Structure 1
C-alpha cells in the first residue's frame, strides 16, 4: 500500500510539480513554499529587538511612533524582491501570508509589541485594490494575525484619493503626493488603542507617515509600524 502511495505521489509530482517560490527547486517538503536554501537566504534584520533602529529613525521628528520594525533588508535583484513581486503582481497571496507569519513571530519574540489591539494594513485606493484583487498589506496582516492572535482592521482607515507611484519621487514629492489621502471613518473604533500599521516596503516612509498622522489624530492612540522590508534610500 505504501509503495502504491509513493508511486501515485511521484506521478502527481511529475505532472503537477510543487516547486520553491524563490528558486524553482523541487527539493522541498510538500507543504512548504520555500526550500531550505531560500529560507536560510532571507535577510532578516532583527530590528524588532532594538530601540532606535533604522526604521524608527525614519520617523524621528515627523510622527510619534512607539516602536517600528522591518522584517527583512530589501535590495534589488534579490530573493526578497522576487517574493514581494510575486505577492504584489503575480497573485501569490500564499507567500505574503507566509512572510506575514514570519514577521508576526518576530514581533511576538520582542517585548516591544506586546499590547497591539489591531493590525491595520496600509489602505490601497479602492480602484487599485479591485484591479489587483486584494491588498497585499492585508495579506501580510492575515499571516501576522494567525500567529499573534490580533485582529485585522481593514475598513476603518481608508484611502480616499488616487496617488501616483512613489518609485521615482524624492522625499518632498512623495509627501506631497500622499498628503490628504487617508481618513479614519470611525475614530471611536481605534480610540485609546494600540495600532500596528503594516505595509510591504518602507523607503522614505512618506506614505506611512501620511496614514499614521491621520491615525494619531484620534484620541489616546499609540502608533506602531511594521513592514516586510526596509529599503535604504
Structure 2
C-alpha cells in the first residue's frame, strides 16, 4: 500500500508509529527511524571530500564537477531495507524523509551554494505507471525542500526499461544505455549547475548516461548525487 508523504504525519496522530529499521516505537520527535537507527546508518561523508571514491568512479567517463552519496549500500543493511520499502512497498514517505536527510548533508559541503537546479534520473513510463511514482523524484523533492532549489522532473526522458549492469563490461553498459535517454524539458537549464539525483549507484552507468546528456546543454555543468553507493 502506498503511503503518501502528505498522509503519513496525519496517521501518526492516531496510530503509534514504529521505527522502519528496528521496529521500536518512535517518540513524537522521531520520524521514520529512531535516533539509534538513524545514527547507525553508514555515512560516507563524501560531501566533505573532494575527489572522493565516488567522484573518481566517473573519471575518464564523464566530466562532472562533484559526486556525493549519503550512505553506503550493503546487502541486508538498514539502508537496503529502506530502499526496498520505498521502491517496492509504496513507502513514498520514506523516500521524502531520506531526501531531506540528503539535503541537510549537502548543506555541509563547500559547493552547497553552487547548484542551480535538481534533476532526477527518470523512470521508464511502464515502470512509473506500475509503481505510481519515481523514487528519484521523491528524493529530489526532499532535497529541494531543504536546499530551496527547484526540481526539473522532465529534463530527461527514458525510452525503455533497463536491465542489471553489474555483470557487463563498460562498453556493453554504454551501448545499452546510450539510446535509452534523451533530453526533455531542459532548454532552461542552459548555463546552470545541475545536480543529478538517483537512489542507488552501483556501476554508475545510468548516471553517466544522464550526465552526458545534460552536458550537451550549452554552458551546463553537472554534479551527481545519490542516496547510497554500493561499495565495490
When normalised by structure 1's length, the TM-score is: 0.89
Cα distance in 1, alignment partners of residues 131 and 186 from structure 2 = 28
Contact 1:116 1:196 in 2 (8 A): yes
Matches within 5 A, 1:183-194: 183-194=182-193
**Structure 1 counterpart of 2:203:** 204
* Structure 1 residue 145 corresponds to structure 2 residue 144: yes
Q: CA deviation at 1:113?
A: 3.0
- Larger deviation: 21-30 or 40-49? 21-30
- Larger deviation: 168-177 or 104-113? 168-177
Find the residue that maps to 2:98 and give its secondary structure. helix
**Structure 2 counterpart of 1:3:** none
**Structure 1 counterpart of 2:175:** 176
- Larger deviation: 89-98 or 22-31? 22-31
Find the residue that maps to 2:162 and give its secondary structure. coil
Superposed CA deviations along residues 203-233 of structure 1, whole A, max 9, x for unmatched, are: 1100000111011011100101000001022
Cα distance in 1, alignment partners of residues 26 and 104 from structure 2 = 25
Cα distance in 2, alignment partners of residues 186 and 195 from structure 1 = 14
Q: Higher helix proportion, which one?
A: 1
**Structure 2 counterpart of 1:7:** none
**Structure 1 counterpart of 2:97:** 98
Cα distance in 2, alignment partners of residues 84 and 161 from structure 1 = 22
When normalised by structure 2's length, the TM-score is: 0.89
Contact 2:166 2:203 in 1 (8 A): no
Find the residue that maps to 2:107 and give its secondary structure. helix
Cα distance in 2, alignment partners of residues 70 and 209 from structure 1 = 15
Contact 1:69 1:227 in 2 (8 A): yes
* Bigger radius of gyration among the two: 1
Cα distance in 2, alignment partners of residues 38 and 166 from structure 1 = 31
Cα RMSD between the aligned structures? 1.9
Superposed CA deviations along residues 57-116 of structure 1, whole A, max 9, x for unmatched, are: 010001111011000011101111000111100111111111111111111111223121
- Larger deviation: 16-25 or 157-166? 157-166
- Alignment: residue pair count: 221
Cα distance in 2, alignment partners of residues 41 and 185 from structure 1 = 39
